[in-house]
Chains A and B, each alone.
Chain A
Amino acid sequence: MVALVLPRLVDVSAASRRSASVTERNVAALRSVYWLLLISGFVEPLLYLLSIGVGVGALIGDLTLPSGAVVTYAAFVAPAMLASSAMTGALAETTFNFFGKMKYMKLYDGVIATPVQPFEIALGELAWAMLRGSAYSAAFLVVMVVMDLTAPARALAAFPAAVLVGFAFGALGMAISTFMRSWQDFDLMSSAQFILFLFSGTFVPAEAYPTVLRWLVEVTPLYRAVHLIRALTVDTGGWSWTLDVLYLLTVLAAGLLIAARRMGRLLYK
């Protein structure tokens, strides 16, 4: 039994060690210019929260959620901004940057000549994307607590959820990137991302849409992410968010597998 299990364990530890070396490379590549970019990813959702959540919210007043909970408009918008910033942070790293590294910097052509394999590259890049996404999420949760849009205990519960959101979108973005032919294709992705940002129950409850549209909205990943984080930060009771967790885990696994498989095809020519 030991003889059967041990090589597997060694395999897993070697694989995670190799993934970590890919993450480590990104830490080494961090430069001062990059910091500005990092900060912009945090400032953007904050500006939305202040302008729309607080500003427009003053005109709208309070909202009643399907569970019956009554919340201010800012408290309604804040979790959605958290979910979208987790999405944006993860996507920025796993689409533009990942694509550039693979196609133009030919970075992975050098990496695959070492023991590191495509799946490990994907995992390492994703872990890096998540370090970035998680930093945004943590900062944003602090802002939410300070602005009294959620309770500290709820913010603690929402943090791992935001990390999961980032992981799922990161994996999805990476899988999509392996199908991209040039930078032009990313325009399409940016548009899709913006549409998701507008209609995923972010600024308007999905219940306000006509039934068919509402179903459509409810199967999109950002809606599930918003739903999950809203449930944890402001809503009361209910377990429907466990469905969101399952959904996001599925997206994560599928994205990672597709990305690794496509990378294998593209790199092992």
Chain B
Amino acid sequence: MTTGRPLIQAQGLVKRFGDFTAVDGIDVEVRAGEAFGFLGPNGAGKSSTMRMIGCTSPPSGGELRILGMDPVRDGPAIRARLGVCPQLDNLDPELTVRENLTTYARYFGIPRRVARARATELLDFVQLGDRADSKVEPLSGGMKRRLTIARALVNEPDIVLLDEPTTGLDPQARHLVWERLFRLKQQGVTLVLTTHYMDEAEQLCDRLVVMDGGRIVAEGSPRALIERHATREVVELRFAAESQEAFAGKLDALGERVEVLPDRILVYVPDGDAAVAEVAALGLHPANVLVRRGSLEDVFLHLTGRTLVD
């Protein structure tokens, strides 16, 4: 999917707020038709990057071109072709669900008749047709999110920017949002999203970057990242004893990497079953053994650490 022309190009992109550097010189290229993800813990600089791409936050340094234009000089022309779904819903509480779409369409200069038709179509798309004349306030979090996504599509954008599209939603709502985003992707819409849900990134993204502390620490397809920064399989061992620490030393030779957590030991290996057999051969008897595939979550935690960053 990386054959399209580049729609977003950033080189050495920087965003500073006073003394604080939120984005510290990142290089990114997103091509037409791609679903591109920014992954990272809170405070990694994802949202700041998204706001710069959305042309509502001027870069503090570096080069940024969107749809071949300069975001500072050509802001209105670029924004006319973007759809933005921000992290916090900023729907218009004084308008109904339908009016939120028609009014937003007017900001883009879309004729009223077209706006009305599109609103009906989009409300069906996000399954809010029966709530069209309701106010925004009584809607659930998931409904508001879907309405915000519908609003981002009202100008038939070339690029849709989604900042943590499913954060705070229940599983049903998340799956509905994913399914709609997947459909957009199939229609050839370029998606750029931020997330800290690994399953979301694996499901939706063709390519992603992992950000930490304002920098990009890894880049590639989900599969490539797992191959490069994790292993094909992971063995999780839980020992009955108080401290897992005591057993860790004996496992070092077993895999590419051993990680000791308070409640279990993770061994990163190419072949899980073989590793389990070796554990038994060493005369160790863990209370609990789990063999699973390496995941993006392993990559994420390996690259950005396990410490809370809030």
A226 within 8 A of B: no
Stretch at the interface among A61-69, A108-116, A202-210, A240-248: A108-116
* Alpha-carbon distance A22/B17, docked complex (angstroms): 30
A14 within 8 A of B: yes
Total residue contacts A-B, CB cutoff 8 A: 77
Hey, which chain B residues are within 8 Å of A117, CB to CB? Answer: 75-76
A267 within 8 A of B: yes
A31 within 8 A of B: yes
Interface contact A114-B94, CB-CB below 8 Å: no
Determine the residue in chain A with the shortest Cβ distance to B15.
A269
Interface size on B, residues (CB 8 A): 31
Within the complex, which residue of B58, B88, B93, B99 is in contact with A28, where a contact is CB–CB below 8 Å?
Answer: B99
A157 to chain B, nearest CB (A): 35
A21 within 8 A of B: yes
A18 within 8 A of B: yes
B92 within 8 A of A: yes
The contact string, 1 if C-beta is below 8 Å from chain B, for chain A 10-31, is 0000100110011011001101
* Alpha-carbon distance A31/B92, docked complex (angstroms): 14
Interface contact B90-A107, CB-CB below 8 Å: yes
B80 within 8 A of A: yes
The contact string, 1 if C-beta is below 8 Å from chain A, for chain B 118-139, is 0000000000000000000000
B38 within 8 A of A: no
Within the complex, which residue of A18, A29, A112 is in contact with B109, where a contact is CB–CB below 8 Å?
Answer: A18
Interface contact A28-B107, CB-CB below 8 Å: no
Instruction: Indicate whether A18 sits within 8 Å of B103 (C-beta atoms), given known contacts A110-B90, A269-B57.
Output: no
Which residue numbers of A lie inside 8 Å of B, CB to CB? Answer: 14, 17-18, 21-22, 24-25, 28-29, 31, 105-107, 109-117, 267-269
Besides A14-B76, A115-B79, 15 new A-B residue pairs in contact (Cβ under 8 A), listed by A number: A18-B76, A22-B107, A24-B106, A28-B95, A28-B99, A105-B92, A110-B90, A110-B104, A110-B151, A113-B54, A113-B84, A114-B80, A115-B108, A268-B56, A269-B51
16 A-B residue pairings within 8 Å (CB atoms): A14-B76, A14-B109, A18-B76, A18-B107, A25-B92, A25-B95, A25-B103, A29-B95, A105-B94, A107-B90, A110-B86, A110-B104, A114-B155, A115-B108, A116-B107, A268-B57
